[in-house]
Amino acid sequence: MRVYVRECRICGKTFEATQASSRYCSDECRREGNRISSRLRKQKAKMRIYPNRELLDMAKEASKRGLSYGEYVAKLSANRREATELE
């Protein structure tokens, strides 16, 4: 049986593995690695659902103010123009 020398992806400790795909030195590190992977997968899934988060936030802000998205953006542009003219 072949033995592989690996470095744990969580704690960095060197360990001997019997499978080439082993990444963690212990069950504790494996569970932590799975927690991290799960968290990252969930974050990536949120980004796929809302790839342009800024646009969604602006639409919500417009709705709070009783405006359509287009009206809100137009007012923002007008306010920016006025601010640059005053400088």
pLDDT at 52 over 90: no
Q: What percent of the chain has pLDDT over 90?
A: 61
Phi, psi of 49 (to 5 degrees): -70, -40
Kindly tell me the sign of the dihedral angle through the C-alpha atoms of 20, 23, 26, 27.
negative
Q: Domain segments of the chain: what residues? A: 4-49, 53-86
Q: What percent of the chain has pLDDT over 70?
A: 93
Give the pLDDT of residue 46: 77
Q: How far is CA 76 from CA 35, 40, 51, 71, 87, in A?
A: 42, 34, 22, 9, 17
Q: Are the C-beta atoms of residues 33 and 24 closer than 8 Å to each other?
A: yes
